[in-house]
Chains A and B, each alone.
Chain A
Amino acid sequence: MRQVALTVNGMRHELELEPRELLVYVLRDRLKLTGTNVGCDTSSCGACTVLVDGESVKSCTVLGVQADGAEITTIEGLAANGSLHPVQQAFHDHHALQCGYCTPGMVMAAVSLIEHGEATSEAAIREGLEGNLCRCTGYHNIVAAVQDAAGAMGRAR
């Protein structure tokens, strides 16, 4: 077992982890943050995307111990003071989800894309979200939502 310190959504957690434990199960099973979903187990679908030190990461392919000392943001950490994050609001408004299973990962990937200044065009957003699969929407409304959110976040700066 290894002693690991993670800061998740602003809260510090000290955990004893087995070195083989995947970050996604640390979040889901130990910290009960079940908003992050597991869709494929092979880092293909992106449903488990979270931010590790501001970078979007598929948490099914990161070991918990690798995240020692990191700041992690999950979907539960986005909405502040009861109001939705602009990306969450845009997904809501644009009908950018149906079953919603991909949504937490898709939202986190989009937040990272926008914050890195890479959501500059429809094509760039499509390329940036290529690693996040959605089976319901056909992506059109997701891309529109991210474009909208990128605009809103740009104006807010």
Chain B
Amino acid sequence: MSATTERPRLAVGRIGERLPREDAVPKVTGEFSYASDLSTPGMLWGDTLRSPHAHARVVSIDVTAALGLPGIHGALTHEDVPGKKLYGLEFADQPVLAIDRVRYVGEPVALVVAEHPEQARRALEAIVVEYEPLEPVVDMERALEQEPLHPDRPTMGHGYRDDRRPNVVRHLVIRHGDPDIAGDVVVTGTYELGIQDQAFLGPESGLAIPDGEGGVDIHVATQWLHVDRDQVAPCLDLRPEQVRLHLSGVGGSFGGREDLSMQIHSALLALHTGRPVKMVYDRAESFTGHVHRHPARIRCEHRATRDGRLTSVRMQILLDGGAYASSSTAVASNAASFGLGPYRVDNALIETTAVYTNNPPCGAMRGFGAVQTCFAAEAQMDQLAAELGLDPVELRLLNALEPGDSLPTGQVIEGSLPTREVIRRAAALPVPDQETLPRDPLRLPGGTGNTTTGEGIRRGVGFALGFKNICYSEGFDDFCAARVVLHADGSAVVHSAAAEVGQGVVGVMLQVARTELGTDEVTLAPHTTATVGSAGSTSASRMTWMAAGAVRDACRAALEERERRGGGEVDVERVHRHPRTTPLDPETGQITGERAHVALAVAAMRVVVEVDVELGLTRVVWVGTAQDVGKAVNPLALEGQIEGGTAQGLGLALMEEIVTRNGAIQNASFTDYLIPTALDMPPVEIELVEVPEPDAPYGVKGVGEPPTVVSTAAIVSAMRAATGRPLTRAPVRPDDICL
């Protein structure tokens, strides 16, 4: 019979239930402790001197004057880094502190530590750094011809295509079928996206505490405790077990906490002084303190038959990775792998290049490369529909990628991918009627500005489809550990290092443990590297799958062990792995095994906008979306992910862009970098499509990214319908839509 009937009783809060957050009470009462709330007796404050230059030679750094100031306990430079001087998420190309060259505005150059944060700030001003400014490389196309910023080419020799052009982080060519094959119609376009910031509400913060035996405990808001530890320890010249990372409350992440911020810095200062050291970034520093979404330039040529079948697609994708590699190589792979959109295309040539420049470093942000190419590919599909006189939804249905079809990498889709179903379900959602004029100014584009009575309004309805991978790809040895302690009284404690960043993995793990153990009496131990193995990163929409798998496996093993022993306390740790992937062939971009990506998730979105073409302002009136979720573990949390993910895509469509001048960020504040408010967000109608993923525990898929992938494309599609303008750049600017 079914598995559930074998269990003694059903616990509350099992898989599939609509549940409030496990941490909702401490978060609504203010008791929840964020990294910025960390405090301990005897604590000192660290601060960071950052480069004012996008590109310069560092001639000398003199900290003498800073050391003489009141309250100062130390000032450190690269000479004080005891171990490796370079670190990086995937490639160690970034100095802990600048050595002889700075490559972006905001690059850390020196550290100070003081009794009070204001003394630390004063001390930074007393440090004398002599720079010899160099011409910055700021244009991603010209970067391929200019002086190399990393002459030792740190990302080469890792199985990627050998590309001798200067400043190439990764060049990836996917050749599929015969890309020269003709079509009856051809549409071309060049698309651009600006730099988007994760803009999590809780700025970076951390506290490092020396353990008195040469090691250090680092409490920090991060996405992956163990990979932080593995980057920090070599720079401190310590063994990994001497560096313990502990998760403190995380105020959002969205990819921006995948790379290190002050982890090494605070630990250096703590070990230097023998005292706990806290560092907190303010909002302006946060803008330079984490990587951003890659800006992109994408050229496309789509060919199709007269009846609308895609025959061949060519894409050239250029991504500006900024000063350091971060995860640019993987972002490039994603941009290329999902560049065509979820469509069956038998012939394609996709050339992707990620480059080094002296712009702010770019890396992970929700959607991870797929956002940029979805924007381009969906604009092309709309253009093709117009050219052929076909309904855009019908065109997408006609070309929909389904199980049994191949990705352009040659990977045959074997798991769940209900592309047609999400298209049909999103397209069937009824669009609201147009509201009459005159109306409340809040319901006009421009909202609170109250600048018009609405004569310039044009309504448009748009549609888009987007997809991306779930879990890490291309041979990455990805795993997740969980440890379950089953007490004699039947209660259980789950240990996991899976970072809760707001997405709700804490709830997922408890739901799984309650379901498997058949008891309500389950608690989670603090997230730390000290008591359990790595959980991998909270990214790539992987943590629901991986943590659910690990906790499930550990729970089942614990029950078996207790059975075997006939009772008593048991303590087991298990590691969950998803199906193995292999790298793409460096020359052809084709798979070298069964798959380069583990699984896929697809989302469709229908959007209504009103554009005031006199003012150049847009109001998103309504969003309807259908998302492929595998299995909804907690539908309440899942809908929250879709609404929040849609809001970030809306931001990229309409308002969010880090503006740089010669590499320097011009708008490092929430006054100048705008994110959507409650007035900007429309209602979001959601259809969950549950087709279980065969390889995943309980059939789950990650859900965080697809809404962000598809929403920018869908909103701009509606704006094109409203204005008749091509709108090839996101965010769309007022000038682009004033007719």
Interface residues of A (CB under 8 A from B): 28, 33-42, 44-45, 47, 74-76, 78-79, 84, 88-89, 91-93, 95, 97-104, 107, 123, 125-127, 129-143
Contacts and interface: CB of A to CB of B under 8 A. Distances in A.
A42 B251 contact: no
A131 to B, nearest CB: 8
Contacts of B442: 123, 126-127
29 contacts: A34-B34, A41-B284, A41-B669, A45-B670, A47-B201, A76-B30, A79-B29, A84-B29, A92-B20, A95-B20, A95-B636, A97-B28, A98-B503, A98-B640, A99-B251, A99-B252, A102-B201, A103-B28, A107-B28, A123-B443, A126-B442, A127-B679, A130-B448, A135-B201, A135-B254, A138-B647, A138-B676, A139-B678, A140-B683
A130 B674 CA distance: 12
A75 B37 contact: no
Pairs A-B, 5 closest by C-beta atoms: A35-B30, A99-B502, A100-B27, A138-B643, A101-B251
Given A42-B670, A84-B25, A88-B29, A140 B643 contact: yes
Contact of A138 (B24, B37, B252, B644): B644
Contacts of B618: none
A130 B28 contact: no
Given A91-B28, A126-B678, A99 B201 contact: yes
Contacts of A28: 37
B548 interface: no
A45 B20 CA distance: 25
Contacts of A101: 34, 200-202, 251-252, 502
By size class, the interface of chain B is 35 or more
Contacts of B252: 98-99, 101, 135-136
Contacts of B29: 35, 75-76, 78-79, 84, 88
B636 A100 contact: no
A44 B667 CA distance: 13
B32 A100 contact: yes
Contact of A84 (B28, B637, B670, B677): B28
B703 to A, nearest CB: 13
Interface of B: 20-21, 23-25, 27-34, 36-37, 39, 198-203, 249-254, 282-284, 440, 442-443, 448, 501-504, 636-637, 639-640, 643-648, 669-671, 675-679, 681, 683-684
Given A84-B25, A98-B502, A99-B250, A127 B448 contact: yes
B655 to A, nearest CB: 12
Nearest to A47: B201
Contacts of B27: 97, 100, 103
Given A99-B202, A99-B250, A139-B681, A42 B34 contact: no
Nearest to A128: B678
A100 B23 contact: yes
A134 B28 contact: no
A135 B675 contact: yes
A40 B284 CA distance: 8
Contacts of A88: 28-29
Contacts of A76: 29-31
A133 B670 contact: yes
Contacts of A133: 201, 670, 675, 677
A137 B643 contact: yes
Contacts of B647: 135, 137-139
Contacts of B202: 37, 39, 99, 101
A77 to B, nearest CB: 9
Given A99-B202, A100-B502, A143 B283 contact: no
Contact of B671 (A42, A93, A103): A42
B30 A141 contact: no
Nearest to A43: B671
Nearest to A124: B442
A73 B31 CA distance: 15
Contacts of B39: 34
Contacts of A123: 440, 442-443
B671 A44 contact: yes
A74 B29 CA distance: 10
